Each structure stands twice: as C-alpha cells, then as structure tokens.
Structure 1
Amino acid sequence: MGTVEDYVAGLPSPARELIRDAYAVVRDSVPDAVETLKYGMPALALDGKGVISIMHTKEHIGVYPYSADVVARVLADGDLPGVIGSTKGSLHFALDAPLPPEAIRSIVQARLTEIGR
C-alpha cells in the first residue's frame, strides 16, 4: 500500500478530497507524525505508535485510532459530530460529507493522551 499520500492519491473522488482534508487536520495537530503502515493500513504515527488511519470503505470513511479505549472514550464524551457508526476499533463517517475537523482533533487528542504525548 505505500504512504498515506500514495493511498489518498489512489482514491476515487470525493473520498480522496475528504480523506486528504482529514489527514491535513491531523498533520496540523501532530506536525511531527510520520507516515507508516500499521496493521496493513497507511497511518500517521509517533514514536512507532499508530495515531490514526483514515480509510475509504464501500459504506463509509473509517477512522482508526489504534485503540478501542479511544473509540469508547470519544463516543462516551458525546461531542463527536458526523459519526454515523462505529465498531470496537473504528469510527465511521459518511462517504459524501467532510469529516468534521473538531471530531478529528478530538480523536487525535484522545490517542495522543493515551500514548503519553
């Protein structure tokens, strides 16, 4: 799969633009994050720990913070706009709407707190 940028470049529109914009929010929040592969998904990481992966699926855009605890925490906080579903390890957003920057920042901050950053 290659880098995050390679992955995003290969996506169909409008998912390409939505995911590119979401990763831009992450990069603004965590400028020292590096591109990597975690569990076979292009991701941004710090100190070798996955911070987030944002992937296109057939039904939604999946956001993977590499932590079931982070997913549970941000859902319990109740202030996560745009979420249309979730699993133990992911949050789901609509395929045709921008991912709310405040939701992405909240997910990233919860993960950074968890990994001690």
Structure 2
Amino acid sequence: MHSKELLKGTLKTIILKLLREHGRMYGYEITQKVRVLTSGELVITEGALYPALHKLERDQLVRTEQEYIGRRVRRYYSLTPLGEQAVGQKVREFDAFVQMMRQILSPSTATDD
C-alpha cells in the first residue's frame, strides 16, 4: 500500500512514461497497465487519473481522440510533441528526487558529530 500523496506527486510522470512506451491509451488501459507492472501494488483510481490527464491536456502534453466502440465513446490519450520532450525531463527529475531521498534516508557511512 502506498500513500496517496506519493502517488499524486508521481502520477503525471507515470502517465507520460506509459504513453511514450505504449503509444495511445485510454484511461482504464492506463490503470490496468500500472496494476500489472506493479503486481497490483499500485492502484490508480479514476478520481486520481482523469484530473491528471485533463491537466496534462491543458498543459498541451497530451492530446485526445474519441473513438466509438459500439455505442460507447472511448477517449484515447497520446503524447503531443511537447509531451514527448517533457517525458525525459520528468523522468530525470524523478530519478534525481529518488536519489536525493535515498541519500537522506540511507544510514550515513560517516560518523555523526
């Protein structure tokens, strides 16, 4: 179980990375891919996913396409050129943050004064 705060801070990076790796995806597909990749440890709810997707769309990092599946409309998300550029930056920022947290949380090899 992971805190909602940790997920909230990383959700946009997760979405952008998945869209880069898998091309266009719809919301439920994104949630299921995360579930599979984390062996069920990380569950993204619709209440968290869609506001993040809408924010990414407003920021012009993702675009949407609608496709009719029977009588239902499915909304697909994909990266814009700006989104393609942002993925690498977001992943690097996250990696740097994780390294910094490891430094803070790891036992120090130096003696404390």
TM-score calculated relative to the size of structure 1:
0.25
Structure with bigger strand share is 1
Q: Which has the higher contact order (CA 8 A, sep 6+)?
A: 2
Larger proportion of helix = 2
Greater Rg by CA: 2
